[in-house]
Structure 1
Amino acid sequence: MPGSESAAAGPHRIFDARTLAARRRRARALGPETFLIDRVAEDLADRLGAVNRRFDIAGDLGTPTTALARALAASPMIGRLFAFGPPERADNDAAADIEMPPFGAASLDLVVSALALQTANDLPGTLAQIRRALRPDGLLLACLFGAGTLAELREAFAIAESETTGGISPRVAPFADLRDLGGLIQRAGLALPVTDVDRVVVRYAHPLALMHDLRRMGAANPLAARRRAPLRRATLARLFEVYAERFADPDGRLRATFEIAWISGWAPHESQQKPLRPGSAKVRLADALKVPEGRLPGDDS
């Protein structure tokens, strides 16, 4: 899953933007598979509904389809939602590179994004630009593929390639770990960071069905360091065997995991809760727990 030619991608580029755009165009031509983006769009709308705030000006950054715009269309919490997406998306208010969003400083009350930020080569930089675009007490709410996405396919590819070619090439993107995402939100200057994960397990009759879905999602391999030679038949055959051996349910269907990492953070504002200063507590922990100093409830030692 989620590299133009590697020289154009540069030495520090993980994803190749031109290849990623080509993958998305092919997906539209094939007929896109949207079950995953539709699901997370509805989930994002539900999460936003729990915030109980109105956002006059919102920006949808990079979401590859109109699913999020549709899910939020009737929301009374949003005044106007502007779409800043890839050129392949038909309803853009402005075509945008997620690493160079066309946001003015303090111009948005809300930034949302669904299954797009995982292809940013400089995710910390993208988050910093989102923070700059948010007005005080503005919100970022987004989801992206997390580290456990397609773990089964990654493992099966690694075993099949090592056995048939003597080496391993990048086949599945190195998605961010949830713990790292929390740190990146804080590093970008966003307050009250929250992260959590939703694991979606999809079952397939054959690995080829999964690969076809990935193509129709525009999610076939765009890694800059990917091997350019065609996949060997022996490697593909061994991949099928390993996948069936390791990741089949009792009924023979094969599991594919999509880890959806959710992130949120607020542009700082004086009204937000702040941690107490060290040493400012007025009640000792032992007194609050009604135990002798130095002992915890249930500690009989």
Structure 2
Amino acid sequence: MNTQPDDINLFDADAVQRNRKRGRAMGPDFDFLRAEIADRMADRLADINRDFGSVLDLGGNFAPHSSKTVEAVPVGDEPLAASPGSYDLVVSNLALHWVNDLPGVMVQANRALKPDGLFMASLFGGETLHELGHSLLAAEAEVTGGASQRVIPFADVRDLGSLLQRAGFALPVTDMDTITVTYEHPLKLMQELRGMGEANAMHSRSRRFLRRDVLMRACEIYQSKFGMADGRVPATFQVMYMTGWHPHESQQKPLKPGSGKVNLGDALKAGGPPKKPSP
């Protein structure tokens, strides 16, 4: 994911769409992770004392798992098909990690919100599929003497707060979940990723199919380095969440520097030095 508003495009938007279409054709059984994260996001929304009447879903991965009436739009390199100031909530569920210009999309999302409207998004973070990425790189380097990136780069949770501020959101909050899913074999994980539409769509990806001997060696490395006692293999999905509000005069604002009413030095003098506990 490109977090810089420049002309560098990491991802091939046409390939992203082809992968998603191919995944949908494989059936709904591969959508469990998006369903799980949509439920977690719905729980977060339920904790907010607010009725979100108009909801916009960027990427379309939240609407199928929500009881709300949700308008879904595609998200990618094209401008968002959203009217300014029209929505109480803009939400995105595991879609923004394929966006080339994430800051630009977030600015557009902010623009689509009504005053005091909420933006909430989930996306994969930097530790996602690190086991698979390591195994593929190690196998290709060992067998062919060279390697290409087979797992896309993901953002770091430390970047998200500044991105929210740069996009003009008030009261930004970020946090993270780590979900470990186990599979009976690495090939089952790869099939799952294809069914989710999460195959590699980087511009720099190799256009050749992964050689069978490289694939088999990658599976051996995966099982040897990361395999569990019961023979299954884990796959890490780091899910990052970010929330921010369209600015409104009713929102809490931080105090200006120097506006405090109590002098810290006076408070410390009044309290005296800390006392040693009695034995």
Q: Give TM-score scaled by structure 2 length.
A: 0.90
SS at structure 1 position matched to 2:165: helix
Match of 1:49 in 2: 46
SS at structure 2 position matched to 1:197: strand
CA distance in structure 2 between the aligned counterparts of 1:149 and 1:249, rounded to whole angstroms: 18
CA distance in structure 2 between the aligned counterparts of 1:72 and 1:237, rounded to whole angstroms: 40
Which amino acid is 1:73 matched to?
S
- Give 1:71 shift: 4.0
Paired positions, count: 270
SS at structure 1 position matched to 2:215: helix
CA distance in structure 2 between the aligned counterparts of 1:199 and 1:277, rounded to whole angstroms: 36
Which deviates the most, 105-114 or 121-130? 105-114
CA distance in structure 1 between the aligned counterparts of 2:167 and 2:179, rounded to whole angstroms: 28
Q: Does residue 1:210 correspond to 2:189, yes or no?
A: yes
The 3 A distance-change label for structure 1 pair 99 and 116 is farther
The 3 A distance-change label for structure 1 pair 254 and 280 is same
Q: Does residue 1:63 correspond to 2:57, yes or no?
A: no
Q: Give TM-score scaled by structure 1 length.
A: 0.84
CA distance in structure 1 between the aligned counterparts of 2:174 and 2:192, rounded to whole angstroms: 27
Which deviates the most, 226-235 or 143-152? 226-235
Note if contact 1:45-1:71 (Cα within 8 Å) is conserved in structure 2. Answer: no
Unpaired segments ≥5 residues, structure 1: 3-10, 75-79, 86-95
- Give 1:268 shift: 0.7
Note if contact 2:13-2:76 (Cα within 8 Å) is conserved in structure 1. Answer: no
Deviations 1:14-67 (A, max 9, x none): 111111111112112222301101101111111101111112221111134xxx
The 3 A distance-change label for structure 1 pair 51 and 296 is farther
Deviations 1:99-119 (A, max 9, x none): 521112212111011011111
RMSD between aligned residues? 2.2
Alignment partner for residue 148 of structure 1, among 109, 127, 146? 127
Match of 2:66 in 1: 72
Deviations 1:164-202 (A, max 9, x none): 222221211111110111111110000111111111100
Q: Does residue 1:81 correspond to 2:70, yes or no?
A: yes
Q: Does residue 1:225 correspond to 2:222, yes or no?
A: no
Percent of aligned pairs with the same residue?
Answer: 49
- Give 1:233 shift: 2.3
Match of 2:4 in 1: none
Match of 1:6 in 2: none
Which amino acid is 1:163 matched to?
E
